Amino acid sequence: MKFLTLMPPSSAAMTTGGSVMDKYQTFYQANPEIPALVQAIEQQVAQWSLLVASLPAQQQQSLKNSMLQASLALDHNSLSVVQLQQLAAGERVVALAQDIQQAQNALTLYQQLDQYNPYSSTDLKKAHQVFMRAVSSDAGCYRAHGAGVYEDHKLVHMPPAPAKVKPLVEELLDKLRHEQVHPLVVSCLMHFQLALIHPFSDGNGRLCRLWHYLVLMQWQPHCIYLPLVLALREKSREYQKTLRQSVPKYDATAFILFILRTTKESLAAELQQLELQQAELIQCSQAADFLAQPLPDLSQCLKLQAKKKKTKASGPWYKTADQILKKLKKDNRLSAKTLADELGLSSRAIEKQLAKLKAEGKLLRTGPAKGGRWQVLA
């Protein structure tokens, strides 16, 4: 069993009623799947780095923007990838002022990532200051008050007292800097432990995911483009559930396995897509040579292929009506807001779809507005 001790555990420091210890240790258990996953991901990342390095700068930026938008969306930011790209290009975007400010802050921060050290508490606070500028009054400062993580008005985690935050962060970063395990595992521990400490009053989720990426970028720079956050957004419920259930046990094993499995799955899918895209580009070029015609506009070819894939792709952001019905069959208490978050759409768009499904006789709402249930008739 591997221990990452932040402070000597003390039974006297433990409280009841959902509270947690101010002195504790995080550990993860030896599991044969962890080294197997690490080895598989290492091979994928090597292949991924070569493919991403061969992409045009514009497409690399598009990958980064997609990853950034997904991380913001996990914290309920409403901007789409297109809106984020428009914002990055200096174009006017219509959205909530706070969402635009958060996105602008994130874009600024992600342009400076090579200046940050994941094992520096100063850089952690500096990143938070950029992330939360004009959004939070204590941007760049550790929280000065107690905090609680709630789910449906139920306390699921009580982070350490404010006075413990600074020493815990310092000790965590120092220990992880010297941890003799693979960066893929260190990044998971960083993510998990920062979530456990909850250093700031707001923006902790974004910082946890960013610091996860920074650890990986020190190992392989092209990890900035990893599709992990995109997959976490798609699996947001499982992601939050795994993190929430691991925290009270101080056992990061389940969280490490979830993140590594998700990384492997998402990389496999993205590698396949990039390889197909490159093969199609080669086919376009070969066809042009064979016909002795001028080389076609490859950017147009890319756009046509992307459009073709978009119409054929399946996932939570496609075939909205079908996806809504599918999700409501699994959980008939989902709200329009929750559906919007999971499908990456606005609440207004989801409400239109719900109204249409009810009009078509495929969906029925029973009970009060709050606490009612959906009945799928189709």
pLDDT tens figures, 165-183: 999 999 999 999 998 899 9
CATH number, position 55: 1.10.3290.10
Rg of the Cα trace of the chain? 23
Q: Domain range for residue 40?
A: 2-267
Q: Are residues 261 and 163 in the same domain?
A: yes
Q: Has residue 33 been placed in a domain? A: yes
Does one domain contain both 137 and 212? yes
Residues 259 and 338 in one domain: no
Cβ-contact 330, 324 below 8 angstroms: no
Question: Is the pLDDT confidence value at 191 over 50?
Answer: yes
| Cα(262)–Cα(254) distance, integer angstroms | 12
Q: 152 and 214 share a domain?
A: yes
Per-residue pLDDT, averaged over 297-311, amounts to 59
Task: Read off the tokens for 285.
Answer: 């070029």
- Same domain for 244 and 360, yes or no, is no
Q: How many domains does the chain have?
A: 2
Residue 7: inside a domain: yes
> Do the strands 25-28 and 149-151 form a parallel or antiparallel pair, or are they unpaired?
unpaired
Calculate helix-pair angle for 33-53, 253-290, nearest 10 degrees. Answer: 30
**Residues 368, 263 share a domain:** no
CB 171 within 8 A of CB 154: no
Would you say the pTM of this structure is higher than 0.75? no
How do residues 329-352 score in pLDDT, each as one tens digit?
888 888 888 888 888 888 888 888
Backbone phi and psi for residue 95, each to the nearest 5 degrees, phi listed first: -165, 180
| Residues 115, 18 share a domain | yes
pLDDT of 313 > 50? The answer is no
